[in-house]
Structure 1
Amino acid sequence: MNAATSTTAPLDLDACAREQIHIPGSIQPAGLLLVVEPEGGTIVQSAIPGTPLLQDFDCPRGQRLERVLGGALAGLASSVLVAPDRGTVHLGIVSLKGVAHHATAHRAQGMILLELEEARPDELGSLEDLYPLIREFMADLERAPDTAALCDLAARQLRRITGLDRVLIYRFDTGWNGTVIAESRNEALPSYLDLRFPASDIPAQARELYRTSRLRLIANCDYTPVPIEPAINPLTGQPTDLGQALLRSVSPVHLQYMRNMGTGTSMSISLLREGRLWGLVSCHNRAPCRVPYNVRTACDLLGQVLALQVAAKEHAAEVEQRVARRAIQARLLALMAAEDDFLKGLAREPGQLLSLTQSEGAAIVHLGRCVLLGRAPGEQAVMELVNWLESTRRDDTFHSDSLATEWPAALGCKDTASGLLAVSISQMHASYVLWFRPEIVHTVQWGGDPRKQADPARLSPRTSFEAWKETVRLRSLPWTQADVEGALELRTAIVDIVLRKAEEMADLNEQLVRSNKELEAFSYSVSHDLRAPFRHIVGYSELLLQSAGEKLGDQEKRFVATIIESANSAGVLVDNLLSFSQMGRTTLGKVKVNMHHLLEEVRRLLEVDTVGRDIEWKIGTLPTVEADPMMLRLVFQNLLSNAIKFTRDVEKAVIQVSGQAQHHEYVFCVRDNGCGFDMRYVHKLFGVFQRLHHVEEFEGTGIGLANVRRIIERHGGRTWAEGEVGKGASVYFTLPDTSGVQP
């Protein structure tokens, strides 16, 4: 808990963010600071408190290092000048008028900063004196089962080592709000366990200093800063950067923050994970107290060990999660690979897809289809959400635990979709896999009202740390990195499967096109070459009857008549085969077709077949479609002629024609009450040369319905039939509804 401003006053927040806390221009009075030019070892700046101990020494500026402070640093001069480029080095103990000081040095802006911090008379002599406590701490850490146990143990042991009144472990969330997750204290200071503190309490530049400088001590919140003189380094022309200095003075705002908290002393230890600030160990004492250097060094070491253990525990938990989710990925991959349509595979075992991201609902949207799984919003809401994602997304993934704050329409489905994780599975279409989490209403305890306004006229910290409860709504459980990674891996798998199937389909289509062209060419050639012989057979047979009819007996005449009839039938069959082969090559000329007018034209053409028949025609309201009129005429000719033919043994024939719009297509039906057919053989109905009745009963070549199917499929439609022996048949076909398609 550190430098703070109001969470809602823009002026204060901006001022705090601009505060240059790494160049305060002063140090704390627990020691002195010398800024040394490294080439010649000359002092260029200094900060020396006006204590009686140091009053007898001359001003060190302009002097060489070994001569200042009565020559007390002569033995350290060579070590100071070779201070490492990174980190702070402890050079040993220096005695100034019999008072021991810890000498430490580090480099900044090309200068060497030498700090002499007064040692406490009662402090332990070395780190070895603290080793028993450190060893005990290490042993206990290894037995801690999880992060919570680690932090509880660390808080207790660090308070035991430091002797301070309260030790808190403070963890940051993704928004840099901090929560106290562990605490050890006596009764001198109140408990802050489980309280949350807003990100503004530790602004960005303060977090960066915590990241680069792991330990910081403020021994007395009422100290008087010791200025650096001169304020500007004469060699660099800049204020000296004290970001790594142990004695660095802190912001007056933070000192007031401490007073408001009732703490006279504050020490913080940074907890880093993979170079990022994970949290802080924040130590407090009600009365001012200087934590000895060696104790701080031990705390720094233990803080690093704790951070490593936390990282190891969290990494192990993440690995365990990844292994479990990889197993789910493998199962989903197998399900998708087993289906021609990956969407069916994903939806086959909904629990697997939901477990992948620990969600309660999911939706798969692909090529206009929407499949809902588990607790998900309705289809209309999902499609609206997809449209919003398409208009706003910049990446292949989107996740939010408060969807309504980004898409207000989500308010209506907060019980199923307060949280959303979505991945796009197509660059060309609005295709997504979406996971949903419901609203989780919960209470958060803040350390003070985060909405409280500070004084806008000046930079100032909060004054109240009393627990303030906030009820959080319109939020789900947050998505973890494992959730997002699992979704992205599934996306990769889907894209790979879709691409592979697309490549396979393209290869099959290429083979099919080639085979169709060869088959059409063969059919055309065969049918064309057969027509002439059949004409010759009919022609010569008729000539034979004319020239030798008187010489032929009745039986011979029947033979010749049969030859003529069979040759004519074969010729019709060849003509139909030729027509069928040409269907695949004919270009579609789509126009708006009035189906009523088209149907009446066909009925007039077929009137010759209905002479003397009692036929009741029932024509429904037929929609206007976009299609090739010549081909649709052939469709109705075949269907109506079949209906007329197969009802001729019925005393009163009833033929119905209907059409209606259903789900982006038009469905047409031609129904009759004729002889019908056995549904066990329906799969043969639309095949070439397939017949379900003997030719002696009903004439025909078995190509009519094959032509119907080919024409309808070329229009992008479907065909099927239903029937029952003796009770008639119904033949259905569909045509796409293109009225709502944008050009």
Structure 2
Amino acid sequence: MTLSSKISLQSGQPLSDALLTSCDREQIHRPDAIQPYGLLLIAKADTLQIIAGAGDLEARLNPNWLGQSLPDLLNIPADGLKLSGGKALNNTRVSGLQDETFNAQFHVSGEHLLVELEPLDSRNFLTWEIFSQIDATADRFERCPDIAAVCHHGAQVFAKLTEFDRVLVYRFQEDGSGCVMGEKRNEAFPSLMNHHFPASDIPRQARALYLRNRIRVIPDIHYEAAPIRPVEAGTTGIDLSDVQLRSISPVHLQYMSNMGVAASASISLVVDGILWGMITCHNATPRILSEDIRAACRTLAGVMSRQLRNKEELITYQERLRLRNAIEFATSHFDPAASVKDNLQRSVTELRSLFPCDGFAVIDQKEIKTSGKVPEHSDLLAIRDWLRLGSNGGIFCSSCLGKDYPPAEMWPEASAGILAITLPFRTSLTLVWSRVEIVQVIEWAGNPHKGAPDHDGILHPRKSFESWEQTVLGHSHRWTTEQKQAARRLRRSLIADYQTQQLRELNATLTATVQERESLIQQKDFLIREVNHRVQNSLQMVASFLKLQARTSTNEETTEALSEAQHRIAAIGLVHRRLYRGDQMGMVDLSRYLEELIEELCSSLGEEWQAQLRMVLSPVSISADRAINVGLVLTELVINASKYAYGGQAGPLYLSLSVTGDRLTLTVSDQGRHDINLNGSGFGTRMMKAVVGSLGGTLTYTPLSPGLEAVMAVPLDINGPASAHEDIPDGLYS
């Protein structure tokens, strides 16, 4: 019997929120029990003493198992049980009672060591027949043309390998639901090919376990769970995520019973670390998968997953290549001399062919150019205004426009899905590719709305898995990831063209302006040369006059003052020359300026200073007036070091210029011997205090053994806040 229902997805998700919430809350990894076909031992990880277990341990392993040492009970060397990082040991064979042989797997769970014992099949393991089947299957997978073929062949291979009644290859969709893409069955079960399953059938925590454990076997769903005992061992709620024998959720067991399944096996398909889908095996009677078959299933699932990734990558590559060629073809018709707007409006036909769609529109401030089937002009203008309000990075994509933009519910036959590009030009442009409504009929394996919790809060799974059809309205074909990426590339290309056009127009304007001002610049350059020549001559005359006065003066203090004034004038003259030679009027490279200034000071103080000087200067540009002030302070500090630290002789002198954040630091230090007068009021001290104050900085002194270090710190910003000068010792070196 087939049920039909016409449901619009505007009413909400097709699944019950209560069902999803209840499933996601279930602690399926902490069942406190195992499936009884195997045994479980729990020991302390540090002492290896067995404190709990599950299953018929007394009859199948040892009547006195509790409290024993794990290595003694299993006859395993204790050194072989050193685990780290929760990794399982290699398979270990353990002999049991009743002529049973168990395969032992070891896992770490917190402070406990878990040992699961699974009975082995008496058949040989990993036979040559299975090896040859794996090799042939891998070759067949590689020759499959697409994903559908891989899924179809995978179902055939796993059905033959496991001999289960029905094998489904199940792929997860973007919304968490799944679709059967491959099937192999006999008459024991009906077909579920192309059927959909709601996301609640495999909740989030179950998917996490499927990523962690790639194969899961339930030999008989009607088993009676074997609880972990004794209860007083304190293992209640222990994490059994890695245990293959872990007991199954009662909800899932009831779910399979409702499907008529007596035994199942689930094999994960993992692509790039993401759960791509599942291979689900169903049997109408109890059935177990032996160890060799499970190993082959793991290997084949890995081979199949790699081929699924290869097919997806091939499809993605082909789609990207097609879209890139389509964009290049569409934009190749653009006229380089025309505006981007004109090119877009003239190329609506070519642009429409970029993406499979029913219509295309270029929307200007008021003008609209269209091709194909699109909404009314007033609706397009409203969509443009709505898109401008969003923060979508200039790209908007929807395959259910009515859900995102409610007015679109009124005209799904004109547009049920759009891909839009908003261009941030001076006059904004919007490009819209439109797709009309596609009425879809989704065939579900049972009504996905059933299975919500009862009034008592107990979750009951769906009882019916007969085909149930859902008619989906208001949707268009989905826009692919490659199409969205191509839209972003097109947007970047159009913005670049617009910017190039703006630059071309700006360059034309600038060219005319430059030509107009070139004559003015030439005149200014002539005047600057003349002014520089006159200023330099004037400074040289003043310096020569001061030098002559210093030579003729008989007063030692006057001679020193005149010499210092001469050095200060030289510093100002050097800045002036650098200003004239520099590329940026008004700005000076302070490091080069200070280097040249020191060279001139050393020439005047004596060539022997060159060998004593050490400089580490970081490049920084500051305004000329501030450079002059820094130069004056440096000149004063060097002269003071020469006079007071070394008594006029050459001595070691260290200079550094550094930039930290928004401040520059000038350091001058010597190794001389001198007395520091903190109460002096000499001209040099007063001058430096005034200059540093005008820079909004500080000047501090630190006595060394021997020597003295002077540090001036000033803000780079010319509008930096003025600083107090209490740190400047009044009268230092006076």
Question: Normalising by the residue count of structure 2, what TM-score does the alignment of the two structures yield?
Answer: 0.64
**1-side partners of 2:398 and 2:139: how far apart?**
41
- Residue in 1 that maps onto 2:280: 282
- Report the CA distance shift for 1:89/1:298 in structure 2 as closer, same or farther (over 3 A): farther
- Report the CA distance shift for 1:38/1:127 in structure 2 as closer, same or farther (over 3 A): farther
Task: Tell whether the 8 Å contact from 1:165 to 1:185 is kept in structure 2 after alignment.
Answer: yes
Cα shift at 1:227: 2.0
For the residue of structure 2 that corresponds to 1:242, the secondary structure is: coil
1:130 aligns with 2:130: yes
In structure 1, give the amino acid aligned to 2:295. T
- Residue in 2 that maps onto 1:48: 55
Task: Tell whether the 8 Å contact from 2:348 to 2:369 is kept in structure 1 after alignment.
Answer: no
In structure 2, give the amino acid aligned to 1:391. L
**1-side partners of 2:504 and 2:230: how far apart?**
77
- Report the CA distance shift for 1:46/1:388 in structure 2 as closer, same or farther (over 3 A): same
Farther-moved stretch of structure 1 (452-461 vs 413-422) = 452-461
Task: Tell whether the 8 Å contact from 1:9 to 1:456 is kept in structure 2 after alignment.
Answer: no
**2-side partners of 1:59 and 1:184: how far apart?**
45
Cα shift at 1:137: 1.4
**1-side partners of 2:271 and 2:319: how far apart?**
19
- Residue in 2 that maps onto 1:632: none
Task: Tell whether the 8 Å contact from 1:443 to 1:469 is kept in structure 2 after alignment.
Answer: yes
- Residue in 2 that maps onto 1:543: none
**2-side partners of 1:37 and 1:428: how far apart?**
72
**Percentage of pairs with the same residue:** 32
Structure 1: 5+ residue stretches without partners: 1-5, 521-743
Cα shift at 1:423: 2.9
1:114 aligns with 2:112: no
Task: Tell whether the 8 Å contact from 2:180 to 2:195 is kept in structure 1 after alignment.
Answer: yes
Aligned pairs (5 A) from 1:89-488: 89-97=89-97, 98-109=99-110, 111-121=112-122, 123-126=123-126, 128-229=128-229, 239-336=237-334, 338-426=336-424, 431-452=429-450, 454=452, 455-457=454-456, 458-488=458-488
**2-side partners of 1:471 and 1:158: how far apart?**
33
Farther-moved stretch of structure 1 (211-220 vs 246-255) = 211-220
Cα shift at 1:466: 0.4
What RMSD in Å do the two structures reach over aligned CA positions? 2.8
Cα shift at 1:328: 1.8
- Report the CA distance shift for 1:464/1:114 in structure 2 as closer, same or farther (over 3 A): same
For the residue of structure 1 that corresponds to 2:338, the secondary structure is: coil
Aligned pairs (5 A) from 1:72-83: 73-75=74-76, 77-82=78-83
Cα shift at 1:141: 1.4
In structure 1, give the amino acid aligned to 2:59. P
Cα shift at 1:336: 4.3
For the residue of structure 2 that corresponds to 1:267, the secondary structure is: strand
- Residue in 1 that maps onto 2:661: none
Task: Tell whether the 8 Å contact from 2:138 to 2:304 is kept in structure 1 after alignment.
Answer: no
Q: Deviations over 1:302-340 (max 9, x none)?
A: 111111101101101111111111112223443447353
Task: Tell whether the 8 Å contact from 1:332 to 1:345 is kept in structure 2 after alignment.
Answer: no
Cα shift at 1:183: 0.4
- Report the CA distance shift for 1:89/1:346 in structure 2 as closer, same or farther (over 3 A): farther
For the residue of structure 2 that corresponds to 1:416, the secondary structure is: coil
Cα shift at 1:348: 3.9
Cα shift at 1:49: 3.2
**1-side partners of 2:77 and 2:353: how far apart?**
63
**2-side partners of 1:233 and 1:492: how far apart?**
65
Cα shift at 1:469: 1.1
- Report the CA distance shift for 1:338/1:430 in structure 2 as closer, same or farther (over 3 A): closer
- Residue in 1 that maps onto 2:707: none
Q: Which has the larger radius of gyration?
A: 1
- Residue in 1 that maps onto 2:65: 59
Structure 2: 5+ residue stretches without partners: 1-12, 521-734
For the residue of structure 2 that corresponds to 1:120, the secondary structure is: coil
Cα shift at 1:217: 0.9
**2-side partners of 1:363 and 1:227: how far apart?**
66
Task: Tell whether the 8 Å contact from 2:267 to 2:297 is kept in structure 1 after alignment.
Answer: yes
Question: Normalising by the residue count of structure 1, what TM-score does the alignment of the two structures yield?
Answer: 0.64
Q: Deviations over 1:23-60 (max 9, x none)?
A: 22221112122234444433344323367324x42133
Farther-moved stretch of structure 1 (304-313 vs 451-460) = 451-460
- Report the CA distance shift for 1:41/1:99 in structure 2 as closer, same or farther (over 3 A): same
In structure 2, give the amino acid aligned to 1:25. D
Task: Tell whether the 8 Å contact from 1:386 to 1:430 is kept in structure 2 after alignment.
Answer: no
Task: Tell whether the 8 Å contact from 1:225 to 1:249 is kept in structure 2 after alignment.
Answer: yes
For the residue of structure 2 that corresponds to 1:450, the secondary structure is: coil
- Report the CA distance shift for 1:361/1:387 in structure 2 as closer, same or farther (over 3 A): same
Task: Tell whether the 8 Å contact from 1:417 to 1:437 is kept in structure 2 after alignment.
Answer: yes
1:24 aligns with 2:25: no
- Report the CA distance shift for 1:46/1:503 in structure 2 as closer, same or farther (over 3 A): farther
Task: Tell whether the 8 Å contact from 2:28 to 2:206 is kept in structure 1 after alignment.
Answer: yes
Cα shift at 1:85: 3.1
**2-side partners of 1:342 and 1:334: how far apart?**
13
**2-side partners of 1:45 and 1:426: how far apart?**
68
For the residue of structure 2 that corresponds to 1:446, the secondary structure is: strand
For the residue of structure 2 that corresponds to 1:52, the secondary structure is: helix
Task: Tell whether the 8 Å contact from 1:339 to 1:345 is kept in structure 2 after alignment.
Answer: no
For the residue of structure 2 that corresponds to 1:423, the secondary structure is: strand
- Report the CA distance shift for 1:230/1:497 in structure 2 as closer, same or farther (over 3 A): farther
Task: Tell whether the 8 Å contact from 1:258 to 1:264 is kept in structure 2 after alignment.
Answer: yes
For the residue of structure 2 that corresponds to 1:249, the secondary structure is: coil
**2-side partners of 1:512 and 1:282: how far apart?**
75
**1-side partners of 2:433 and 2:390: how far apart?**
18
For the residue of structure 1 that corresponds to 2:174, the secondary structure is: coil
Task: Tell whether the 8 Å contact from 2:362 to 2:370 is kept in structure 1 after alignment.
Answer: yes
Task: Tell whether the 8 Å contact from 1:390 to 1:430 is kept in structure 2 after alignment.
Answer: no
Cα shift at 1:439: 0.9
- Residue in 1 that maps onto 2:709: none
Cα shift at 1:382: 1.2
**1-side partners of 2:449 and 2:57: how far apart?**
43
- Report the CA distance shift for 1:393/1:131 in structure 2 as closer, same or farther (over 3 A): same
**2-side partners of 1:232 and 1:277: how far apart?**
38
Q: Deviations over 1:493-520 (max 9, x none)?
A: 1222222322333333334456689999
Task: Tell whether the 8 Å contact from 2:360 to 2:373 is kept in structure 1 after alignment.
Answer: yes
